[in-house]
Structures are given as C-alpha cells and as structure tokens.
Amino acid sequence: MSEVNEVTEAPEDEPRAECVLCREPTEYPQSRPGITLCPRCEWQEAQRTACSG
Ligand SMILES: [Zn+2]
C-alpha cells in the first residue's frame, strides 16, 4: 500500500534466512550474505567464542 515507506531493515514480505544451526527463521533476509544465525544461536556462538582463549 504505502510506496513511500522507508525501511532500513528487510521488508516484511522478504523470506527470512534459516539459522544454519537449528533451522529456525532468523531476523535476516535470505539475501543476506554469509552465515545466518537465529538470535539464540547467535548468543550461544558469542558465549562460546568469548570463552575460548
Ligand atoms: Zn539457531
């Protein structure tokens, strides 16, 4: 409906990428390059990398 809707994030109708770990839909659009993680897995990855080394 609204053509002048300025969106900085993915549009609602764009399919979301799957999380590469648990296959849950992420916040990212499928057009996003690289690895996509859902918020939960992203958090877990952050914890893991934070604890290593
Ligand atoms: Zn996940």
Task: Render pLDDT for 7-28 as a digit per residue (tens, 0 to 9).
Answer: 566 566 789 999 999 999 999 9
The Å distance, Cα 36 to ligand 1 centre, comes to 8
The Å distance, Cα 17 to ligand 1 centre, comes to 11
The Å distance, Cα 4 to ligand 1 centre, comes to 33
The Å distance, Cα 14 to ligand 1 centre, comes to 19
Mean pLDDT of the chain: 84
Whether the predicted pLDDT of 44 surpasses 80: yes
The Å distance, Cα 6 to ligand 1 centre, comes to 29
Going by their DSSP bridges, the two strands 16-18 and 25-29 should be labelled as antiparallel
Matching residue, tokens 């764009």: 14
